[in-house]
Amino acid sequence: MSKRPNFLVILADDLGFSDVGAFGSEIATPNLDALAHGGLRLTDFHAASTCSPTRSMLLTGTDHHIAGIGSMAEAISPEQVGKPGYEGYLNERVVALPELLREAGYQTLMAGKWHLGLTPELAPHARGFERSFSLLPGAANHYGFEPPYDDSTPQILKGTPALYIEDDQFVAELPKDFYSSDAFGDKLLQYLKERDQSRPFFAYLPFSAPHWPLQAPAEVVAKYRGRYDAGPEVLRQERLARLKELGLVDKDVKAHPVLAMNKEWQLLSDEERAISARSMEVYAAMVERLDWNVGRVVDYLRQQGQLDNTFILFLSDNGAEGALLEAFPKFGPHLKEFLDQHYDNSLDNIGNANSYVWYGPRWAQAATAPSRLYKAFTTQGGIRVPALIHYPPLARQKQISHNFGTVMDVTPTILDLAGVRHPGKRWNGRDVASVRGKSWLGYLAGETQQVHDENSVTGWELFGMRALRKGNWKIVFLPQPIGPGAWQLYDLSKDPGETHDLAQSHPELLQELADHWQQYSEETGIVAGKLPFL
């Protein structure tokens, strides 16, 4: 390819596997669907089990324990404090993708959630982005609404004194019509229009939607009124049927049973069902609005004649968010009281700026099915994410790929396409980590049949939960009380839902994979942590 491609990487926050139309959803996502149907849909692509670890891996090509996010900054345990890889921000042991691309002549642009450092010297502009507008922490009110804080305020709702930064300057005040997805779309379009047209660009658009609090424009929410009145199990079965129809999962797949601490739909009162369904309506509206903003950027690239020369990657940063925040001591014993005092979570107000809701584990598992569980878990429901690639010059378009992949593959793939070499272990006078991911270029060009062969080994760990995969075999360790506190073994080629533990029948294989995990742990410097929500 004589002309260096542009890049657009779009990241959704807590989006479930089947939350996009092209992946089985009833939610209106025409822009992502068009990219998916004209590109390559990936059904076996993996992230970390939560957001900031994934973001560090995406931008460096290496493991998050090396890159500084060994645990989320908000959940570093005492035994991890001060240890290498647990800085809570993107550290100096890695070189970031935008740093390398900028050095190679690319214009690097970002608008969206950062979650890799809270101060100007740790912000996107300090890690290679020429222009950036970003939400620094992991979550915030999508409308910029902030209630008064005092000593009783749950920490999860406090945010930080400065939430948004543009380049190296904190944003003092958000506009009155601020909505996160629209603001990020606006800013990226601004940067694209102002850019140096003589240089190719790398654009990063990491939304903070559909992460809680669930909030969306009322006119979009209204489109889904009544759509979810039958409850999450009905939606789960609809989604599973559609996934099978689309060829994204096998027709005889066995889905993992739903695991949840909250009450089943039929045991809820009429009021509880109405509030739960409304929360899901707002969630759907958030996804639709995210898609609308993707469409604005894609339309601009098309108008500029740049679309066919832009490599577009879309993915989620982890599985759907199924947390019951009210059940976790981490979020404070007075969460409900604070919300009742400062927010209006009445049925007709849910989704507005002064509401604060989440949708819980049953709706989340409607989106992760047939996989097991959801965000924060190293089971498939926590780490398998929807992903698509759209780039017409490459051979594999209008297809579905069941090849295994990981978010660490993004950096080496983009560098390959850009004709840029990763420096290896030394960059700008300092030691840096090599990439652990693999480039997809040969596969995308139709030259190879797979990216990771049957001997490829990939590990995961977060909050003491562990997993390792070699080929189609996977081991999972969930500590008590949420799991058995022992390794479980699954053959994902036959059991993608992780429903049948083969640990007892394959002890030698189990031990081999456990040994691989131990090696992975030593290579990446894992310091065992604890579950932050129990």
Q: Which residues are catalytic?
A: 51, 115
CB count within 10 Å of CB 397 equals 15
The answer to whether 117 and 72 are in contact (CB under 8 A) is: no
What kind and span of H or E run contains 37?
helix 30-37
3-state secondary structure of 313: strand
Angstrom distance (rounded) from CA 526 to CA 529: 9
The span from the CA of 203 to the CA of 192, in Å, is 8
Structure tokens at 315: 């993915």
Contacts of 18 (CB under 8 A, 6+ apart): 24, 25, 239, 242, 243, 366, 367, 368, 369, 386
The total of other beta-carbon atoms located within 10 Å of residue 351's CB is 24
Cα distances (angstroms) measured from residue 83 to each of 77, 86, 88, 255, 390: 11, 6, 10, 39, 39
For the residues of 80-144, what is the DSSP string, one character each? GTT-TT-SSS--TTS--HHHHHHHTT-EEEEEEE--S-SSGGGSGGGGT-SEEEEE-SS---TT-
Burial tier of 479 (Cβ tally within 10 Å: 0-12, 13-18, 19+): middle
- Which class for 257: exposed (0-12), middle (13-18), buried (19 or more C-beta within 10 A)? exposed
- Find, among 163, 49, 181, 172, the residue nearest to 115 by Cα: 163
Distance set, CA 216 to CA 8, 278, 288, 290, 424 (Å): 24, 12, 9, 10, 44
